[in-house]
Amino acid sequence: MFISSPRFSTFVTSPIFYANAEPHIGHAYTAVLCDTAHRWNRLKNPKSTHLFSIGTDEHGSKIFQASQVAKTTPKLFCDGVSSKFTNLFEKLNLSHTNFIRTTDKTHFDAVQCFWRRLEEKGHIYKSSYSGYYSITDECFIPESDVEKKILNGKEAMVLKSTATPVEWIDEENYMFRLSGFREKVGEWIEKGDIVWPSKYKKLALDSLTMEDDLSISRARSRLSWGIPVPDDPHQTIYVWLDALVNYLTVSGYPKEQSVWPPTCQIIGKDIVKFHLYYWPAFLMAAELPLPQRVFVHGHWLVDNLKMSKSLGNVINPNEAITKFSSEGLRYFLLKQGNPSSDCSFSWSSCLETINSDLVNNVGNLLNRSRVEKINKAGEYPKIQELDPKVKENAGKLIEMLEESREKCVELYDEMAYYKVIEHLMLTMKEANRVFQMSQPWKETDLDRLRSLLFVTYESIRIVSILLQPVTPSMATFCLERLGVKERGLEEARIRGFEGGRLGADEGVFIERIQK
């Protein structure tokens, strides 16, 4: 049933998003982060197999209630929301290899098979369960985290941290022997280099404080929108067990898996407990290999405030794409997004970042250095020896270009994309400085001019190759204008390209964005 990963195969997973509401900027960020990780894997090892999965989480009370409010069936409701996610992912130019919906038949089979496996191995038992349940978070809540409050004029029990309602459940459930795995999961987190960035290791270990076993089913009379427990039509499988198995489904489970385990699972900090406690415990119980890395990121705030419907500050990524272009939004999210902390979205800083980096720093230099007045022959010059004056002026730039590839490999491997961007933009800034101070529009010495153009094009070429995982369309645009066909990592070094004719002039990639 299980085959180990062929060497160098990679498998990046995104969380699957609840199909109860439209995507927001936080979802777009997770998706772009995953896409960059996957594109980097492909750039680094183009001949290997690379998987990248994403999708929608469609079962459970939360979705069922949302469909009732919308006065439609849960399936039709999910079809609508799920297509909003696929549309967004298309606009964001995501390169996922698998889009999964938990209502897919293959997933139904995988979940039931996984359940049976846990059962066969003796990790499931039946018991009566009582406790508080949060529909918003789709999880059980300890009594200590709950308090009485007035909600909509009525007294209600709510979760202390978010003031969202909880309901009391008292019913017969199937339980998973989670407590038996607590220590082993703790050791796995403690010893391995699993949780990235390491700052989140503490959060992961703190989530292991819950000592109880886990209820993994609900009475079907109370929740019918979900996958039934095999051989017990009166019980529905807990939505988080259902959702986590999506990663197995996309790998081919229970048939032969193309790649397993995931090499990198990317999640927001809100779902650490599920991915770093329940999930490894389920996998250990099923005797399946555990993920190699779980990469956690912080949350997006809006002007430093939490995004919420009641504040009316939820950012719709489609609106941001209309204003800034998809590539502009990708760039901003990755530049501003330091996974170790929460990040703040603001329309003005997005606009300024795109104008100063993509429009000025990259786009303008490309346009200015290609104009006929400066480059009459329309060529990417071949240079044996750099003109001494250009060599002197561009000393620092050449040094930066020479170390760029190695530096970016390291930073991409660490998934510190904001640092990749920082380094490459500093390089472009230096290329602009050299170009500006050399005043090529006044230059009469042709050899010197060719040398300057060579250094300028090399800067744009190397930076573009290295930016491909971040802004793939802009990188392609720049490389095409330069007439560069070879775009592999190997080529990201000085003189990694022979030179030749520039590509045709077909406008600008991104216009200055107006306020």
Which residues are near ligand ME8 by CB under 6 A?
15-18, 26-27, 29-30, 57, 243-244, 246, 267-268, 270-271, 299-300, 307
* CB-nearer residue toward ligand ME8: 288 or 383: 288
The CA-based angle 141-311-161, given to 5 degrees, is 20
Strand-strand pairing, 154-159 and 195-196: unpaired
Instruction: Give Cβ neighbours of residue 15 (< 8 Å, ≥ 6 apart).
Output: 30, 57, 266, 267, 268, 271
In terms of Cα–Cα distance, which of 304, 157, 129, 290 is closest to 214? 129
Strand-strand pairing, 195-196 and 139-141: unpaired
Q: CB-hemisphere CA count at 13 Å for 382?
A: 5
Q: Give the nearest distance from C-beta 10 to ligand ME8 in angstroms.
A: 19
* CB-nearer residue toward ligand ME8: 232 or 270: 270
Q: Give the nearest distance from C-beta 460 to ligand ME8 in angstroms.
A: 32
Q: Is the dihedral of CA 109, 115, 116, 117 positive or negative?
A: positive
In terms of Cα–Cα distance, which of 10, 23, 19 is closest to 329? 23
Q: Is the dihedral of CA 164, 168, 173, 176 positive or negative?
A: positive
Q: Which amino acid is residue 130, in one-letter code?
A: S
The runs of H, that is alpha helices, within 223-313 are 239-244, 246-251, 272-273, 279-285
* CB-nearer residue toward ligand ME8: 43 or 245: 245
* CB-nearer residue toward ligand ME8: 284 or 307: 307
419: which 2 tokens?
Answer: 């640092």
Q: Give the nearest distance from C-beta 75 to ligand ME8 in angstroms.
A: 17
Q: Give the nearest distance from C-beta 102 to ligand ME8 in angstroms.
A: 9
Q: Give the nearest distance from C-beta 327 to ligand ME8 in angstroms.
A: 20
Q: Give the nearest distance from C-beta 60 to ligand ME8 in angstroms.
A: 9
* CB-nearer residue toward ligand ME8: 160 or 306: 306
Q: Give the nearest distance from C-beta 59 to ligand ME8 in angstroms.
A: 10
* CB-nearer residue toward ligand ME8: 268 or 317: 268
* CB-nearer residue toward ligand ME8: 85 or 412: 85
Rounded Cα distance, 79 and 446, in Å:
62
In terms of Cα–Cα distance, which of 249, 276, 277, 278 is closest to 265? 276
* CB-nearer residue toward ligand ME8: 215 or 393: 215
Would you call the peptide bond into 46 cis, given omega within 30 degrees of 0 as the criterion?
A: no
Q: Give the nearest distance from C-beta 307 to ligand ME8 in angstroms.
A: 5
Rounded Cα distance, 509 and 438, in Å:
25
* CB-nearer residue toward ligand ME8: 212 or 270: 270
Q: Give the nearest distance from C-beta 96 to ligand ME8 in angstroms.
A: 15
User: How does 226-261 read in b/e, with b if 16+ C-beta sit within 10 Å?
Assistant: bbbbeeeeebbbbbbbbbbbbbbbbbbbbeebbbbb
